[in-house]
Structure 1
Amino acid sequence: MSKIFMLSVTKRIDELEEVQSVMEKIFPRKSALKEFLEKEGYCKAAKNQYIKIKNESIYEAAIEKIKL
């Protein structure tokens, strides 16, 4: 059985305002996923959730492990 990791990124302009889906990306290895998150400047918020604040926007990344 193999695993892949799916990353879904959403963007918030304000806590109460709209949420936009920015990107969905699939990674074959967890190490590649973590390398991408570090390179992009995300900080760990909770288990399988990362956050990045840039200008006045908040980017939330959620990770889902999928077994094939």
Structure 2
Amino acid sequence: MGKVNDLVFDVDERVVSGLALSDINRDIFDVTTRGVILPYRWVVTTGDIVLIRDIVKRFKKPVKEEEKED
């Protein structure tokens, strides 16, 4: 999905609230920004690789009717 650049930390609650991603996969994210922030509640586990819940359907670009026919 991308590269984790930073954490979003909620100072009042003292918890991580999100992951700031850069170098995002444009096939998944239809945004014009350089990165996105994923809510930390989507994270399943962390380490060298971060696993998240299946949220690709929420961000995937809709397939046009012309592309479906090919």
- TM-score tier by shorter-chain length is under 0.3
| More strand as a share of residues | 1
TM-score by length of 1: 0.23
TM-score by length of 2: 0.23
